[in-house]
C-alpha cells in the first residue's frame, strides 16, 4: 500500500488554522498529549498527518467497517502508536461511539466503525490505565471501560518492586527485579530511556546518552551504577521480547538498531564506571592502610631518625649516601615502607633527608643523634657509636 494511503503530507500550519479545523481547543490538546506522552515515538506533525488521513478515510468505508479496521491494523506503526491512533479517532468523534452521532443511516454506520475501533482499543494493554484511556474517552466511555477491565482483570498490585507506569508497554511483560531502586529512577532512567522503539537518527544517540548521564548525575551515588545496570538488563529483555513476539524482519527492523545501540552505549559506560570505582576504592584502601600504619607506628620512629640510622650503617659499608641519594632513598623506602605511593622518588621527603641527613644549627639534631646512638650502643656497634659521637660534638660546637 502506498504511503499516501496512510498519512497526509501537510505542515502544522494547516492543522492550527481554524478555517480548516474550527475545534482548535482539541487541536492544542492533541498536540500537548503527543508532546507529553509520545514525543519519543512520533512528531506532532507526523501524528496529525496520520490521524487526519484515517479520520477522513472513515467516510469511504461506511459500507465495509471490517475492511476499515483491517486497514488500520495494516499501518506499519508500533502497538503503542496504534493504541494512540485508536484513542484519538475516538476522541475526535466525541470519545464515545454511542453518545455522539446523529440517529440516521450515516450516523449508525459511523457508530459501527467507531465501536469496532473502541473494542480494539479496549483489548490493548488490558492491565494498564494508559494515558490514552484517560484522555481520549469521555466520562461515560471511561466508566464502561473501567467496568469492563475490572470484570476481565484483577486490580493492579505492586509486584517485584515494579512501579505503575501506564505508558509502559513491556514492564509487565518481562521478568525483572529492580532491587531497592526508587520508583522515580526506575521510570526516568530505565523504562523511559530503554523501552522506546522510536527510530532514532544518528545525532539522537548522543542526545539520548547525554540526557541519561545528566539524570544519573543527579541521583545518589549508591544508585548510579545499579540504575545503569538495570537499564541495560531491562532494555535487553524488552528487545528480546520484541524479537520473539513482534519483529517481522530482524534484518531491517529499525527498532532493533535502536535497542542494540543504546544497550551498547550504556554497557561501555558501565565498564568505564566500574573501572573508575575500582580505582577510587583501591586509592581509598591504600590511604586506609597507610593511615592505619601511621596510627600504629611509634611516633619516636621518625623518617629523619630512620634515615640517620641507615646513613651510619651504609658509612660502615663504605657507602656515602649523600653521593647516591636516589639509590639510597629507594633503599630507605624499601626498608621503611614510607611514601610508597610517590610517582618519583625525588619528590619524597626521604630523598631530601638522604641528601641532607644532618640538621645544621638545630637542637633537634642532637636529640635525633642521641636517639639513634642508643640502638647501636645496645648492639655493641662501637664504630658507628664513635661516628655518631663525632657528629654530636660537631653539632654542639655549631650551636654554640
Taking the C-alpha atoms of residue 321 and residue 339, their distance in angstroms, rounded to an integer, is 19
Percent of the chain with pLDDT over 90: 13
**Exposed e or buried b per residue across 329-350, where buried means at least 16 C-beta atoms within 10 angstroms of its C-beta:** bbbbbeebebbeeeeebeebeb
Confidence tier at 153 by pLDDT (50, 70, 90) = very low
Span 33-41, mean pLDDT? Answer: 87
Query: Residues 399, 370: contact at Cβ < 8 Å?
Result: no
For the cut 50, the answer to whether the pLDDT of residue 310 exceeds it is yes
> Which is higher by pLDDT, 152 or 23?
23
SS3 331: helix
SS3 170: coil
Which residues 6+ apart lie within 8 Å of 315 measured at CB?
321, 384, 387
Torsional sign, CA 285, 291, 297, 302: positive
For the cut 80, the answer to whether the pLDDT of residue 24 exceeds it is yes
Q: All 3 cell numbers of residue 302? A: 621518625
Distances (CA, A) of 97 to 53, 117, 142: 19, 9, 12
pLDDT at position 283: 64
Span 150-165, mean pLDDT? Answer: 52
Confidence tier at 148 by pLDDT (50, 70, 90) = very low
Query: Residues 336, 318: contact at Cβ < 8 Å?
Result: no
Give the chain's mean pLDDT. 80
**DSSP state, 36?**
I
Which residues 6+ apart lie within 8 Å of 206 measured at CB?
none
pTM, rounded to two decimals = 0.40
Span 297-317, mean pLDDT? Answer: 82
Sequence-separated contacts (24+) of 260-264 with Cβ below 8 Å: 261/200, 261/205, 262/193, 262/194, 262/205, 262/208, 262/235, 263/194, 263/232, 263/235, 263/236, 263/239
Query: Residues 245, 305: contact at Cβ < 8 Å?
Result: no
For the cut 90, the answer to whether the pLDDT of residue 197 exceeds it is no
Lowest mean pLDDT among 226-240, 276-290, 324-338: 276-290
Lowest mean pLDDT among 61-75, 135-149, 162-176, 235-249: 135-149
pLDDT at position 156: 35
Taking the C-alpha atoms of residue 279 and residue 57, their distance in angstroms, rounded to an integer, is 63
| CA angle (257 as vertex; 215, 4 as ends), nearest 5 | 105
| CA angle (274 as vertex; 259, 243 as ends), nearest 5 | 20
Lowest mean pLDDT among 291-295, 314-318, 385-389: 291-295
Taking the C-alpha atoms of residue 163 and residue 157, their distance in angstroms, rounded to an integer, is 9
Burial tier of 270 (Cβ tally within 10 Å: 0-12, 13-18, 19+): middle
Give me the DSSP letters along 208-277.
Answer: HHHHHHHHHTTS-HHHHHHHHHHHHHHHHHHHHHHHHHT-S-TTT-HHHHHHHHHHHHHHHHHHHHHHHH
**DSSP state, 199?**
P
Sequence-separated contacts (24+) of 362-367 with Cβ below 8 Å: 363/399, 365/395, 366/392, 366/395, 366/396, 366/399
Give phi and psi for 223, each to the nearest 5.
Answer: -95, -10
Confidence tier at 353 by pLDDT (50, 70, 90) = confident
For the cut 80, the answer to whether the pLDDT of residue 262 exceeds it is yes
Note the pLDDT tens digit of each residue in 321-352.
777 888 888 888 888 878 777 778 887 887 88
pLDDT at position 325: 84
**DSSP state, 357?**
-
For the cut 80, the answer to whether the pLDDT of residue 9 exceeds it is yes
Domain spans of the chain, in order of start:
3-152, 183-294, 303-399
Give phi and psi for 373, each to the nearest 5.
Answer: -60, -35
Note the pLDDT tens digit of each residue in 76-106.
888 889 999 998 998 888 765 554 444 566 7
pLDDT at position 296: 52
Amino acid at each position: 500500500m502506498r504511503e499516501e494511503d496512510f498519512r497526509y503530507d501537510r505542515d502544522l500550519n494547516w492543522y492550527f488554522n481554524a478555517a480548516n479545523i474550527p475545534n482548535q481547543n482539541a487541536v492544542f490538546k492533541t498536540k500537548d498529549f503527543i508532546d507529553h506522552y509520545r514525543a519519543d515515538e512520533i512528531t506532532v506533525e507526523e501524528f496529525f498527518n496520520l490521524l487526519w488521513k484515517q479520520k477522513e478515510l472513515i467516510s469511504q468505508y461506511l459500507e465495509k467497517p471490517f475492511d476499515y479496521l483491517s486497514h488500520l491494523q495494516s499501518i506499519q506503526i508500533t502497538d503503542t502508536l496504534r493504541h494512540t491512533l485508536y484513542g484519538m479517532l475516538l476522541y475526535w468523534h466525541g470519545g464515545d461511539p454511542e453518545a455522539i452521532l446523529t440517529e440516521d443511516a450515516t450516523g449508525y454506520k459511523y457508530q459501527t466503525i467507531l465501536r469496532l475501533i473502541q473494542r480494539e482499543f479496549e483489548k490493548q494493554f488490558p492491565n494498564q490505565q494508559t494515558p490514552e484511556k484517560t484522555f481520549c474517552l469521555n466520562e461515560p466511555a471511561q466508566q464502561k471501560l473501567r467496568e469492563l477491565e475490572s470484570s476481565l482483570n484483577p486490580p493492579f498490585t505492586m509486584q517485584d518492586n515494579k512501579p505503575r507506569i501506564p505508558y509502559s508497554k513491556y514492564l509487565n511483560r518481562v521478568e525483572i527485579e529492580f532491587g531497592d531502586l526508587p520508583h522515580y529512577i526506575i521510570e526516568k532512567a530505565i523504562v523511559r530511556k530503554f523501552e522506546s522503539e522510536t527510530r532514532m537518527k544518528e545525532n539522537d544517540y548522543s542526545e539520548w546518552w547525554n540526557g541519561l548521564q545528566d539524570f544519573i548525575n543527579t541521583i545518589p551515588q549508591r544508585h548510579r551504577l545499579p540504575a545503569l545496570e538495570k537499564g541495560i538488563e531491562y532494555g535487553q529483555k524488552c528487545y528480546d521480547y520484541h524479537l520473539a513476539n513482534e519483529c517481522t524482519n530482524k534484518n531491517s527492523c529499525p527498532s532493533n538498531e535502536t535497542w542494540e545501540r543504546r544497550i551498547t552505549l550504556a554497557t561501555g559506560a558501565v565498564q568505564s564506571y566500574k573501572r573508575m570505582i575500582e580505582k577510587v576504592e583501591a586509592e581509598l584502601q591504600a590511604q586506609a592502610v597507610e593511615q592505619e600504619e601511621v596510627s600504629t607506628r611509634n611516633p619516636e620512629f621518625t623518617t629523619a631518625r630512620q634515615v640517620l640510622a641507615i646513613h651510619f650503617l651504609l658509612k660502615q659499608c663504605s657507602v656515602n649516601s649523600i653521593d647516591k641519594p636516589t639509590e639510597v632513598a629507594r633503599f630507605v623506602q624499601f626498608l621503611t615502607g614510607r611514601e610508597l605511593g610517590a610517582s618519583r622518588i625525588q619528590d619524597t621527603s626521604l630523598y631530601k633527608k638522604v641528601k641532607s641527613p644532618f640538621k645544621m644549627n638545630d637542637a633537634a639534631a642532637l636529640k635525633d643523634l642521641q636517639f639513634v646512638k642508643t640502638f647501636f650502643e645496645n648492639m655493641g656497634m662501637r664504630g658507628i657509636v664513635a661516628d655518631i659521637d663525632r657528629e654530636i660534638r660537631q653539632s654542639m660546637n655549631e650551636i654554640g
